[in-house]
Structure 1
């Protein structure tokens, strides 16, 4: 065993080498040992031995941690033995004296991972041992035990099964009081030591912070109703006092201790936010203290000196959460007036947010927090593209400006009637043009305009925006000077915010011309990017008029393209490209004269964005819109090769980037195939990417099927000969796993195969046909699905009676019935399902196939005549002259030139081919009445008049009356 221990230790040492020739073989050897018995015990012994090199010990604990993820579960392949698990657990409980902090953290995480599987049933000693460690007189043991308990509680709290949650709640009841006392002790000792010994103070606040994190998880996830626990209530009440004390102390601290106090304060506010989110009814008693606490620090002069950014964000988020809490909102009151907590919380909020308080908060946000800071302006100057980037998602949780703006929007919407006059007054006070040299006035107006933009919907009735735009705002866009770029940018942003709210469509031309001035290369980059975003908003507006925009299309496209080329950051390029493809999408074919510069630039942008998949997504999306608008972008061989290479990379499952590009790549592929005038070797070769896509997942099945259909219509003979069998085999596999909608898609594709080349396709489908016929034979599919199965059967019957007979013979062996019995059963199902087939083309197809069976299946004479007569009634039209016509027949007039049938070439190429294909379809090429009459005549000749008359006698009077309208009997 010592030899093996030494070998593992030596291999770990080599695995920490910087030399890849030494590192790679060591990693391979460690990987081989992962499933060996005793390997993880040796790893435990190595990282618990403090005399070994720290890098080796860290690697050992990391390998053990990964081993727990893979092999700790009993059901896992090569699971770790129970004996070895016991040894590892005991070793972890005796290792609370780890001297290296980052190894101690990984050991605590490892302990938590095992606890998630084994605690409390297989590891009942864990929590008592950790609590004993918290009582230890050794500061190091005390810290490591607290660290481990923190990670264990965090892990156990994340379990969501009812039984696991019940176990955690029992744990919370058991340990909460003790952990609370530990937290109180460490916090009080910190307050003492911070005046005497900074090193000691650091140790105490670190342990107090860990204890606080434990208490947060316990109070949030360990109590069904925290307000019913005296200890939990005491903890929540103390939070406000502790936070105030920490903020007071923070003002006199520096360095590490200063950072730790800030972390501690943030964690205290996190507790409030978490309890409010998870237990709003338990938080009612803390609504007013929370509001008083947050408003004091964020909105009063006395609280300002204690603020720091992360804490201010927490205050804003706490106020916002209280305002938006569904359980406290007024509309909830009307529905749940019997809930006393809801009423109480609502009354508390209403009492707190009186007119004076709301006015003070609103003014402070606008006149103080909305002002651009020196740091903002420095970023604008040094990195304009980053400054102009919109922060989306959940940035409000961590970033000050989004948090401030979201709070303003929330509070303004909640108390609109009170705050509208405040904002109207600020607008009035900042209405006139300001001196370009008056920097503070410019900042103040920028802040007011920000508020007006954010509150656009709530200010709808208060602002005559059209007149404001034509006068003040338009004038401000024309003012030059360094400082005025701030207002030009804000006015451009404001126009975007009000476009969908109250900007008349008649003023869109004025807006376009105004934005074009702001897009000029001589303008500030932030202003240009803001103007581009406003253009996107207007183009995406419901009232957008293509005709109005066409006058500005050429200069707008040129200016945006220049901006795209000048932008440096990939995120910025993506945003500008997004504006361009929105324009392409809205103006369609009108973009043709101006797109050449873009299509020439996109390959360069594609190469530059090799490591930026989202920008590449934007490139692919732009190509999709270009192809759809123009019908093709393949006006040069270079452009054609670029588009095909983009499709190839985007849809190649061997490329890592396909995860990001696949959906857009498939859309581009479909657009290109449908718009191409004729097949080329490159386009046909591209299809080799398709089979792996169908094998890997069905997430994009619809797009894949559309692409295959487009190939079939583009070049049916070549495509089916080269790829037909492979696609049929893949479809056979897919049919076993798909739901009804997917089955219909696959069957419709197979039906298209037969429609495009009946002779070849029925032979390709021959191995799959018995399964299709068997589904019909059983007759238990949904009507929608059954109609497609029947359509395939009908097409096979019309294309090759020989293969139809061979298939029914094969099915008779499967179901152990005679071939005649099988065909009879299939016909019974067929005739029974006919009333559920609603699509006229399918009904006629099935009617033609049934007519062709009259001679072979005369025993079903009555049923076939009834079905055929109903179909003839559905599809036959009688003109004013009394002449009957088959409404589904195509004539030469149906094949009009593309320009007459369709709005764009993109639609025409593919649709034109589909019409040509439909011209050869029996549904559109055979007059059903004539076909039915010929089959009846042939039956009469085959069986003779006497036998035929006996068949006629089996038909009911009503059916005979209908049939005689089409055939003489």
Structure 2
């Protein structure tokens, strides 16, 4: 379809819309305009025309939920089609978005689903977070505390804010982030939790010092998730436990002192008792059992998190560590010999590839790849960590350590020496 034909069609539909006075044909015409936007090869030339039209429709659609819903759909299509040119419509778009995500408005229940989809599209195609978009984020707290019906879209919105907003977003909305996560974890099913855990992991990765204390209540709930019930016959529960344990492993690796403190907080003990969960005297040792048990149920990067966390456990001045020494070293050996320390090079290649084609990759996806490639876990050597912490363990436990090492199966010990490049 040629641009002249498209221009004619736009003008025709706008004229028809202006002529019809009944709701049903107006909705139909608006739907046709929305579809037409999706078929235009270049929508920027028509943006001023469409912006003026949509502004007028919104102003005249008060109380007409069906028309407003169709308008929100059309606006979403426009934003997606404009891509990173979408700020050219912000003067019209932002007041509409502001009003439509206000849950205190009488029409909120009718508009919320399409409003959230428009919000998601707006931030996903934004070259940066303008002040008005940053200011809208607390609205998500009210929406999530009311219902989890739109959890998946909300998670996508949160991820985009983290990726685009960085430190400014985190510092500005720390309380809102904590409230949202605390309201989700422990109150949604396994599917909902599995969609939320990557956001928690992303936050800890990007802000390892400030975020864990900020979301301490959520992390305590993840400990409960990890240590509660059996999951052998339920793959989704296994995935939830394994992924939750990986987040706690990341916290231990990237903010060791905080996780150690968290494990000793009376509020965590009370929470575990309330759930009827029996643990070892040292809660961290109960997590060790989970890391040992679930290592085959996680991704490569999560395996490395487990391994690094287990290597840190070797530095604890606890006799129980020696009881688990064989298993800890077995897992670490398997991870090292699996070549997972080479992920840094792979991630670097991915980063280079993403950077080279930055012109064709949406900025959200590019940022996601860059953050994945720059994950500090990739930069750490599990081999060096185990080697150094094993020496610390030997110094702490002396003859007891020597006895524990001597009791290892010769084949397992030979693999350990190979992994650590020991003579």
TM-score norm. by structure 2 comes to: 0.84
The SS at the match of 2:314 is coil
Question: Residue 279 of structure 2 contacts residue 286 of structure 2 at CA under 8 Å; is this kept in 1?
Answer: no
Q: CA deviation at 1:764?
A: 0.5
In structure 2, the CA distance between the partners of 1:561 and 1:898, relative to structure 1 (3 Å rule), is farther
Among candidates 909, 913, 933, match of residue 367 of structure 2: 913
Residue by residue over 1:27-65, the C-alpha shift from the partner in whole angstroms, topping out at 9 and shown as x without a partner, is xxxxxxxxxxxxxxxxxxxxxxxxxxxxxxxxxxxxxxx
Q: CA deviation at 1:784?
A: 1.2
The SS at the match of 1:753 is helix
Q: CA deviation at 1:943?
A: 2.0
Partner in structure 1 of residue 387 of structure 2: 936
The SS at the match of 2:138 is helix
Counterpart check, 1:802 vs 2:257: yes
Aligned pairs for 1:166-315 within 5 A: none
Among candidates 60, 64, 69, match of residue 617 of structure 1: 69
Partner in structure 2 of residue 862 of structure 1: 326
Among candidates 560, 569, 573, match of residue 22 of structure 2: 569
Question: Residue 650 of structure 1 contacts residue 665 of structure 1 at CA under 8 Å; is this kept in 2?
Answer: yes
Partner in structure 1 of residue 296 of structure 2: 835
Question: Residue 128 of structure 2 contacts residue 164 of structure 2 at CA under 8 Å; is this kept in 1?
Answer: yes
Q: Distance in 1 between matches of 2:2 and 2:239?
A: 45
Question: Residue 869 of structure 1 contacts residue 962 of structure 1 at CA under 8 Å; is this kept in 2?
Answer: yes
In structure 2, the CA distance between the partners of 1:590 and 1:963, relative to structure 1 (3 Å rule), is farther
Q: CA deviation at 1:793?
A: 0.7
Aligned pairs for 1:470-489 within 5 A: none
Q: Distance in 1 between matches of 2:404 and 2:4?
A: 74
Partner in structure 2 of residue 600 of structure 1: 52
Question: Residue 263 of structure 2 contacts residue 284 of structure 2 at CA under 8 Å; is this kept in 1?
Answer: yes
Partner in structure 1 of residue 234 of structure 2: none
Aligned pairs for 1:107-126 within 5 A: none
Partner in structure 1 of residue 37 of structure 2: 584
Partner in structure 1 of residue 304 of structure 2: 844
Partner in structure 1 of residue 239 of structure 2: 784
Q: Distance in 2 between matches of 1:659 and 1:566?
A: 30
Counterpart check, 1:732 vs 2:196: no
Q: CA deviation at 1:616?
A: 1.2
In structure 2, the CA distance between the partners of 1:789 and 1:893, relative to structure 1 (3 Å rule), is closer
Partner in structure 2 of residue 885 of structure 1: 342
Aligned pairs for 1:83-94 within 5 A: none
Question: Residue 351 of structure 2 contacts residue 370 of structure 2 at CA under 8 Å; is this kept in 1?
Answer: no
In structure 2, the CA distance between the partners of 1:686 and 1:825, relative to structure 1 (3 Å rule), is closer
Q: Distance in 2 between matches of 1:886 and 1:899?
A: 20
In structure 2, the CA distance between the partners of 1:888 and 1:622, relative to structure 1 (3 Å rule), is farther
In structure 2, the CA distance between the partners of 1:765 and 1:613, relative to structure 1 (3 Å rule), is same
User: Larger RCO: Structure 1 or Structure 2 (Cα < 8 Å, ≥ 6 residues apart)?
Assistant: 2
Aligned pairs for 1:443-522 within 5 A: none
Partner in structure 2 of residue 687 of structure 1: 137
In structure 2, the CA distance between the partners of 1:805 and 1:899, relative to structure 1 (3 Å rule), is closer
Question: Residue 632 of structure 1 contacts residue 672 of structure 1 at CA under 8 Å; is this kept in 2?
Answer: no
Q: Distance in 2 between matches of 1:873 and 1:565?
A: 70
Q: Distance in 2 between matches of 1:885 and 1:736?
A: 36
Question: Residue 713 of structure 1 contacts residue 756 of structure 1 at CA under 8 Å; is this kept in 2?
Answer: no
Question: Residue 253 of structure 2 contacts residue 305 of structure 2 at CA under 8 Å; is this kept in 1?
Answer: no
Q: Distance in 1 between matches of 2:81 and 2:139?
A: 26
Q: CA deviation at 1:734?
A: 3.2
Partner in structure 2 of residue 453 of structure 1: none
Question: Residue 245 of structure 2 contacts residue 291 of structure 2 at CA under 8 Å; is this kept in 1?
Answer: yes
Q: Distance in 2 between matches of 1:671 and 1:901?
A: 20
Residue by residue over 1:850-876, the C-alpha shift from the partner in whole angstroms, topping out at 9 and shown as x without a partner, is 233232245422212222233334454
Question: Residue 776 of structure 1 contacts residue 830 of structure 1 at CA under 8 Å; is this kept in 2?
Answer: no
Q: CA deviation at 1:804?
A: 1.3
Counterpart check, 1:953 vs 2:406: yes
Question: Residue 705 of structure 1 contacts residue 749 of structure 1 at CA under 8 Å; is this kept in 2?
Answer: yes
The SS at the match of 1:590 is coil
In structure 2, the CA distance between the partners of 1:805 and 1:818, relative to structure 1 (3 Å rule), is farther
Question: Residue 101 of structure 2 contacts residue 108 of structure 2 at CA under 8 Å; is this kept in 1?
Answer: yes
Question: Residue 794 of structure 1 contacts residue 846 of structure 1 at CA under 8 Å; is this kept in 2?
Answer: yes
- For structure 2, list consecutive stretches of 5 or more residues without a partner in the other structure: 232-236
In structure 2, the CA distance between the partners of 1:656 and 1:633, relative to structure 1 (3 Å rule), is farther
In structure 2, the CA distance between the partners of 1:836 and 1:648, relative to structure 1 (3 Å rule), is same
In structure 2, the CA distance between the partners of 1:555 and 1:948, relative to structure 1 (3 Å rule), is farther
Q: CA deviation at 1:550?
A: 7.2
- For structure 1, list consecutive stretches of 5 or more residues without a partner in the other structure: 1-547, 877-883
Q: Distance in 1 between matches of 2:204 and 2:180?
A: 17
Partner in structure 1 of residue 378 of structure 2: 924
The SS at the match of 1:743 is helix
The SS at the match of 1:886 is helix
Question: Residue 163 of structure 2 contacts residue 364 of structure 2 at CA under 8 Å; is this kept in 1?
Answer: yes
Q: Distance in 2 between matches of 1:886 and 1:687?
A: 35
Q: Distance in 1 between matches of 2:91 and 2:345?
A: 41
Question: Residue 570 of structure 1 contacts residue 609 of structure 1 at CA under 8 Å; is this kept in 2?
Answer: no
Partner in structure 2 of residue 720 of structure 1: 170
Q: Distance in 1 between matches of 2:180 and 2:129?
A: 23
In structure 2, the CA distance between the partners of 1:657 and 1:758, relative to structure 1 (3 Å rule), is same
The SS at the match of 2:342 is strand
Q: CA deviation at 1:947?
A: 6.5
Q: CA deviation at 1:698?
A: 1.2
Q: Distance in 1 between matches of 2:82 and 2:352?
A: 22
Residue by residue over 1:121-148, the C-alpha shift from the partner in whole angstroms, topping out at 9 and shown as x without a partner, is xxxxxxxxxxxxxxxxxxxxxxxxxxxx
The SS at the match of 1:935 is helix
Partner in structure 1 of residue 111 of structure 2: 661
Partner in structure 2 of residue 753 of structure 1: 203
The SS at the match of 1:660 is helix
Q: CA deviation at 1:899?
A: 8.1
Question: Residue 854 of structure 1 contacts residue 936 of structure 1 at CA under 8 Å; is this kept in 2?
Answer: no
The SS at the match of 2:173 is helix
Question: Would you say how many aligned residue pairs link Structure 1 and Structure 2?
Answer: 405
Alpha-carbon RMSD across the aligned residues, in angstroms, is 3.0
Among candidates 286, 290, 293, match of residue 825 of structure 1: 286
Q: CA deviation at 1:602?
A: 0.8
Q: CA deviation at 1:583?
A: 2.9
Q: CA deviation at 1:661?
A: 1.4
TM-score norm. by structure 1 comes to: 0.39
Question: Residue 119 of structure 2 contacts residue 157 of structure 2 at CA under 8 Å; is this kept in 1?
Answer: yes
Residue by residue over 1:778-811, the C-alpha shift from the partner in whole angstroms, topping out at 9 and shown as x without a partner, is 3535111102210221121012211111122126
Q: CA deviation at 1:953?
A: 2.7
